[in-house]
Amino acid sequence: MLALYRKYRPHRFEDVIGQDHIIDVLKNAILARRIAHAYLFSGPRGVGKTTVARLLARAVNCTTFAADSGEGRVAVNLTDVSTKLVAERPQPPVNFPDIPCNECENCKALQIGFTLDIIEIDAASTGGVDEVRSLREAVQLMPLRASYKTYIIDEVHMLSRAAFNALLKTLEEPPLHAIFVLATTEPEKVPDTVISRTQHFRFRRVGEPLIIQSLQTIAKAEGISIDQEAVSLLAVFADGSLRDGQSMLDQVLNASKKHAEGAVVRALFGAPPAEVIEQFLGALLRRQTEEALTSVTQVADSGTEMRLFLKLSLRDLRAILLLHLAPKLAESSLAAYGKKEASFLRELKTQTSLEDAERFYAGLLEAYDMLHTFALPHAAVELAIAKLLK
């Protein structure tokens, strides 16, 4: 059985979520036949870099709009010393269908992986100069069936400096039938000389509303209902990674029969119950020092990760702050909460001044940033409480 993130992987550019600023540019470039020889896709994990790279590889070879020689490849002038491709292709129609079409022979072959014209390389495991030299030799070979041979190098920042140097010349002047797509989560580790030879596309974290919408759609397709609290928590835990959200939903669906609730999500991923967060925030905002410290001790003793406890507390404090500053925006945020939690936060807002909400929010944010510097993580929260309530 396929994992959800594989089962629901986008098959067309239109299916990609949260990266419209990149998809629009790539589609326009493909339709206008202004295809670059090298791309760099950078961004957080699980936001679609490899997926878009594969879609790009299929789209540039889609025969719905790219004429071929009858054998699936662009005609080649063998008498030309430089072996240049003949790029006399018809312009696509104005109302072009979805890209790639997934109906032509090239699309089908590339989609199921029945081809040697898309080569995926994991730089984390094959990052040596010898592998790059082998690639440099292999890239001269014509594609077997497609118009373009596409090399997708994942985690490219893991290449050694010698390997980067070996790759430079090929990136600068590759054969006309070759396209390189480099993907990385750490673009700062990629040499400027490599970046300057590519078109750099920066992928963004996927927003919580889009993750929520995607997870709800998948749950419905899987025949399981999921309440608003559960899907909202998954979006928070995903931290901008749609793939992480889908992987966590997979676990939730396995743990639930017909209906997934927030309590199941909290139990699965070690999040404290909503009541614990409410007790802590209530005590903190009412300046009840002992009660606030007791809540933190309970969380620490239960083995709950302190970072997760603080993250959920900050989420609720943000809602209280928005209720003061932007009520309409706050109500849209509270729609992601359960009715009981939302009611509690509205009530707590009436008991808290704007100044206190700002100060407590800033104090816990500072504690969140300092967690990794403390041998005992809960000590960072206790110190923040002591400062805020002195």
Tokens for 198? Answer: 């590519």
Q: What count of other Cβ atoms lies within 10 Å of the Cβ of residue 204?
A: 15
Could you report the per-residue pLDDT of 298-310, keeping only the tens digit for each? 999 988 889 999 9
Rg (CA), the chain: 26
With bands split at pLDDT 50, 70 and 90, how would you rate the model's confidence at 98? low
Dihedral angle sign, alpha carbons of residues 281, 283, 284, 287? positive
Could you report the per-residue pLDDT of 123-143, keeping only the tens digit for each? 888 767 788 888 888 888 888
Q: Which of 388, 387, 389, 384 is nearest to 296 (CA)?
A: 384
What's the pLDDT at 68? 36
What's the pLDDT at 202? 97
Residues 6+ apart with CB under 8 A from 383: 367
Could you report the per-residue pLDDT of 263-294, keeping only the tens digit for each? 889 889 988 988 999 999 999 999 999 999 99
Could you report the per-residue pLDDT of 334-380, keeping only the tens digit for each? 888 878 888 999 999 999 999 999 999 999 999 999 998 888 889 99
Q: What count of other Cβ atoms lies within 10 Å of the Cβ of residue 280?
A: 26
Residue 273, preceding bond cis, omega within 30 degrees? no
Mean pLDDT confidence for 44-62: 92
Return the HEC string of 112-124: CCCCCCEEEEECC
CA 297 to chain centre: 34
Dihedral angle sign, alpha carbons of residues 147, 193, 200, 158? positive
Q: Where are the beta strands (DSSP E) in the chain?
A: 38-42, 118-122, 149-154, 178-184, 199-202, 225-226, 259-260
With bands split at pLDDT 50, 70 and 90, how would you rate the model's confidence at 153? very high
Helix axes 306-325, 327-334, angle to 10 degrees: 140
Tokens for 124? Answer: 């984390």
Q: From CA 83, how far away is CA 77, in angstroms rounded?
A: 6
Tokens for 282? Answer: 């209530």
β-strands 149-154, 199-202 pairing:
unpaired
In this model, does residue 28 exceed pLDDT 60?
A: yes
Q: Which of 59, 152, 153, 155 is nearest to 110 (CA)?
A: 59
What's the pLDDT at 129? 79
Helix axes 306-325, 377-388, angle to 10 degrees: 30
Residues 6+ apart with CB under 8 A from 155: 122, 123, 124, 183, 184, 185
Tokens for 89? Answer: 């292709």
What domains can you pick out in the chain, each with its CATH number? 4-202 (3.40.50.300), 208-268 (1.10.8.60), 274-388 (1.20.272.10)
Question: In the block, which residue shows the tokens 């985690």?
Answer: 155
Mean pLDDT confidence for 15-19: 94
| Alpha-carbon dihedral 53, 97, 86, 110, rounded to 10 degrees | 40
With bands split at pLDDT 50, 70 and 90, how would you rate the model's confidence at 95? very low
With bands split at pLDDT 50, 70 and 90, how would you rate the model's confidence at 86? very low
CA 153 to chain centre: 17
Instruction: Answer yes or no: are the C-beta atoms of 100 and 12 closer than 8 Å.
Output: yes
Q: Which of 28, 54, 29, 32 is nearest to 41 (CA)?
A: 54
Q: From CA 103, how far away is CA 276, in angstroms rounded?
A: 53
What's the pLDDT at 137? 85
Q: What is the mean pLDDT of the chain?
A: 85
With bands split at pLDDT 50, 70 and 90, how would you rate the model's confidence at 67? very low
H or E element that contains 327: helix 327-334
Could you report the per-residue pLDDT of 212-243, keeping only the tens digit for each? 999 999 999 999 899 888 999 999 999 999 99
